[in-house]
Amino acid sequence: MVFKGYIPADIRASVFQLRQNTDMSIRQIAKVCGISPASATRVLKVGIQRRLHCCRRSGRPKKLSARQERILMRNLLKLRNENPGFSVKDLMTECGVSLREVSERTVSRLLQRNGYFYLQTRKKGLLTKSDLCERVRFAKLINTVYGPDVWTKQIAFYLDGVSFAFKTNPLEAARAPKARIWRKLGEGLSFGCTAKGRKEGTGGKLVKLFVGITYNEGVVLCEPYEHLSGASFAAFIEKHFNPTFTKANKNGSRLWVQDNDPSQSSRLAKNAMKNCNCDTSLIALPCRSPDLSPPENFFHLVRCKLKKDALRLNITKETYQEFKERVIRTIYSIPVENINKIIASMPDRLDAIIDKNGCRTKY
């Protein structure tokens, strides 16, 4: 019977060292270490088996080589800047990886191991370098000329136009998948990870509205419109601005905020503003800056509520007029507290833009 008792680690190490560094036989090594030749043989045999087991990979061989993995990860960022909506198949074609040898699922697992997931894109305007400079300039100017209370006490109302796409089956539209992109969890606002939104909507008839919100009063204006031009907006100002300033209740303030739309900056519109005694120091937001426009956050709340209502009430059929009434009803149903919270965050938004050198913020 062979003795298989415990052999201390220092003796096992001595056996390996003598075997590798000397020409001693097993019997001589056993004599030096004070163990039997059988025990010395067993130590060497078990050690070799463990080494082989550590080097051996279990399971099927890898489909992707290390070089292919590097090429895929390197081209992912390049392709995302050129075509953000690419698929795994597009990435494989770009990198020359054969679809016959490697499946799309294998590449998807590689991306996920490296922290990339197929996540929904953020609908934000695509910024240029000049846009970044303009956003920083605007934030610094507001902080210098106005105080932090301008957003809540001096601005009478925030005005913006919005379009809601009419769908005959709201339930089906609410369940439709959104655009997605391969990105990491913290890259939602990074360059190449946003998708350009469309002002005209996603197709079909549109419910077009001018909406004005203000601090402590909530929604003070919600009027439909068909076409937007300098003349039509001038007529809108003459008809609605004086009552809206009264509803805003900001101690006679005639200051309001616009999003720099060309129709709002036209000569006809500016003349109409003078006739309504609007403040000449009009605050015009930089282009492609929804994170500086409180109405954009308000519209997001409205769209979310419309979608939830379609799912909750199981609305499978709706006429255009019914949808229009539901949109206006939803706009007025948003609590004033939510609107106050959105407007009160404006000083923090300006600070975030300055800190990020004009890049996108979480707002």
Assign 154 a pLDDT band (cuts: 50, 70, 90): confident
* Residues 247, 252, 258, 263, CA torsion sign: positive
Give the contacts of 136 (CB within 8 A, at least 6 positions apart).
353, 354, 357, 358
Least confident interval from 58-62, 240-244, 355-359: 58-62
Residue 284 has pLDDT above 80, yes or no: no
- Take residue 29 and report the two structure tokens written for it: 């090594």
Query: Containing H/E element for 39?
Result: helix 37-55
Q: Can you state the angle between helices 26-33 and 9-21, rounded to 10 degrees?
A: 140
Q: Report how far residue 13's alpha carbon sits from residue 85's, in angstroms, rounded to the nearest whole number.
A: 57
Q: Report how far residue 88's alpha carbon sits from residue 234's, in angstroms, rounded to the nearest whole number.
A: 50
Q: Which of the two residues, 246 and 58, has the higher pLDDT score?
A: 246
Q: Report how far residue 117's alpha carbon sits from residue 283's, in angstroms, rounded to the nearest whole number.
A: 40
Residue 185 has pLDDT above 80, yes or no: no
Question: Looking at residue 281, what is its pLDDT?
Answer: 55
Mean pLDDT throughout 305-313?
91
Class of domain 129-178+199-355: alpha beta
Residue 55 has pLDDT above 80, yes or no: no
Residue 205 has pLDDT above 90, yes or no: no
Q: Report how far residue 167's alpha carbon sits from residue 15's, in angstroms, rounded to the nearest whole number.
A: 80
Least confident interval from 36-50, 144-158, 219-233, 318-332: 36-50
Q: Report how far residue 296's alpha carbon sits from residue 144's, in angstroms, rounded to the nearest whole number.
A: 25
Distance of CA 5 to the CA centre of its chain: 62
Q: Report how far residue 144's alpha carbon sits from residue 161's, in angstroms, rounded to the nearest whole number.
A: 28
**What backbone phi and psi angles, to 5 degrees, belong to 246?**
-70, -45
Task: Give the type of residue at 301.
Answer: L
Q: How are beta strands 117-120 and 180-183 bridged, if at all? A: antiparallel
Instruction: Give the chain's mean pLDDT.
Output: 82
pTM for this entry? 0.64
Assign 319 a pLDDT band (cuts: 50, 70, 90): very high
Q: Which of the two residues, 327 and 263, has the higher pLDDT score?
A: 327
Mean pLDDT throughout 336-354?
92
Distance of CA 29 to the CA centre of its chain: 66
Identify whether the C-beta of residue 26 lies closer than 8 Å to the C-beta of residue 33.
no
Q: Report how far residue 203's alpha carbon sits from residue 200's, in angstroms, rounded to the nearest whole number.
A: 8
Dump the DSSP string for 107-153. Answer: HHHHHHHTT-EEEEPEE-PPP-HHHHHHHHHHHHHHHHHS-TTIIII
Residue 124 has pLDDT above 80, yes or no: no
Question: Looking at residue 199, what is its pLDDT?
Answer: 45
Dump the DSSP string for 141-189. Answer: HHHHHS-TTIIIIIEEEEEEEEEEE--S-HHHHHHSPPPEEEE-TT-TT
Assign 201 a pLDDT band (cuts: 50, 70, 90): very low
Among 307, 309, 297, residue whose Cα is nearest residue 340: 297
Residue 68 has pLDDT above 60, yes or no: yes
Question: Looking at residue 212, what is its pLDDT?
Answer: 92
Mean pLDDT throughout 13-27?
85
Assign 179 a pLDDT band (cuts: 50, 70, 90): low
Query: Containing H/E element for 218?
Result: strand 218-224
* Residues 110, 113, 118, 121, CA torsion sign: negative
Least confident interval from 134-143, 192-201, 232-241, 254-263: 192-201
